[in-house]
Amino acid sequence: MKNRIQITLLTITFIFFLTDTFGQAEKAKLKISHLSGDFYIYTTYNMYEGSLIPANGMYLVTDDDVVLFDTPWDTTQFQPLLDSIRLKHNKNVALCMATHWHNDRTAGLEYYKQKGIKTYTTVLTDDLSKKNNMKRAGFLMTKDTVFHVGQYSFETYYPGEGHTADNIVVWFKKEKILYGGCLIKGADADNLGYLGDANVTEYETTLKNVQKKCPDPNYIIISHSNWNNINSLKHSIKLAEKLKEKNHR
C-alpha cells in the first residue's frame, strides 16, 4: 500500500512537472517586456540555420488605440499578440507598419489586414514584397511620413540602403526612442548578420544618416539582439566600416 501511494505521488508530481514545462514552453513563444511609459517590446522566435532566434517588435499604447511596429516572426503568434494586448491594456491594435520586406517583419500583414487593422509599408517595401511573394500591406507610404495617433507623434525615415534596399526606421523625437529594426545590430554582434539582400557599400552611410536624423536616443530597439545596450548603433557603424573596407580590397 505504501509503495502504491509513493508511485501515485510520483505520477502526480511528474504530471505537474510536464504541465509546468509545457506551459513555460508555450509562454516562451511570446514575450512582452515594458520599455518605457506606454512603449512595450514583444518578442517571438523562429528557427534560422538550426538555432532558435528571437525577433523583437514594438507596440505603443495611445489614448485611442495601439500601434504595432512589425509583425511576429512566428506565424502562430499573430492572434496571441492581439489577445495579449487586449487583455493587458483593454485596447485594440488599430495600425501596424512593417520596416522592410523580410518575413520576420511582414509575415502578419495579411492576417492583421483581414482583422481590420490598417497595415502600412513603403512603396519600395511593397514592390519587394510582391516580387518575393511576401505579405503586403493595405496602405503605402510614398515618402517619410509623420503619424499622429492619440497623444503621440512619430516619423518613419528612410536612410538609404543597408540591411535591405527598403529598410526604414521609426523615430519618436519627443521620447527619443529609435526603432531601428533589422538595420541596426546588437552592441555585442560580431557582424551585420544576413547580407544576402544588403548593400555592403552603402551600409555605413545609411547608418550614419540614422545617427544624424535621430541624435542621442534614450533607447534603440533592434530586431534580433538585446535592445538594452544603447551602443548598438555606434557598434553597427563600426561593423559597416569594416565591411566596406573588406569589400573594397
How many CB atoms are closer than 10 A to CB 180? Answer: 28
pLDDT interval class at 249 (50, 70, 90): low
Strand order in the sheet with 219-222: 146-149, 152-157, 169-172, 177-181, 219-222
Do 76 and 29 form a contact (C-beta atoms < 8 A)? yes
Residue pair 164/125 in contact by the 8 Å Cβ criterion? no
pTM across the whole model: 0.88
Distance CA 115, CA 97 (A): 14
Tell me the three-class secondary structure of 120-180, residue by residue. Answer: EEEHHHHHHHHHCCCCCCCEEECCCCEEEECCEEEEEECCCCCCCCCCCEEEECCCCEEEE
**Is the pLDDT at 52 greater than 80, yes or no?**
yes
Q: Please write the tens of the pLDDT for every residue from 33-47.
A: 999 999 999 999 998
Q: How confident is the model at residue 16 (pLDDT cuts 50, 70, 90)?
A: very low
Domain 29-247 has CATH 1.20.1090.10: no
**Mean per-residue pLDDT, 209-226:** 96
